[in-house]
Amino acid sequence: MHTLWTNPSAALRQRLWGGALLAALVAGLSGCSVDGKTPGEAAAPDVLPVVVLKPADQQLFHNYVADVQAVRNVEVRAQVPGFLEQIFVDEGRPVK
């Protein structure tokens, strides 16, 4: 008993085995019937409604949060001093 408290993994292992044994005992006793009939003879199963599925095309939409980045980034710098007053191309359009 002294080694049980000094080794916490042994205490945990003992609790797990005890729980597994209790679960097996409950599962074994739940299959037994009191009046001697087998569980299949006890009562007829209830009739439940059944739905027939039909194949159909469906579109699935998933929204994700994402960030698109270029494979290669290019930094454009001016070759002369001054300020940019107008931009004559749209972003992403090819230039010559």
Question: What secondary structure letter does DSSP report for 27?
Answer: H
HSE-up of residue 85 (Cα within 13 Å, Cβ side): 2
Q: Give residue limits of the domains in the chain.
A: 2-31
More confident call, 71 vs 96: 71
- For residue 21, give Cα distances in angstroms to 25, 32, 80, 86: 6, 17, 84, 81
Q: 11 and 5 in contact (C-beta within 8 Å)? A: yes
Tens digits of residue pLDDT in 10-41 = 777 888 888 888 888 887 777 666 665 665 56
pTM of the model: 0.27
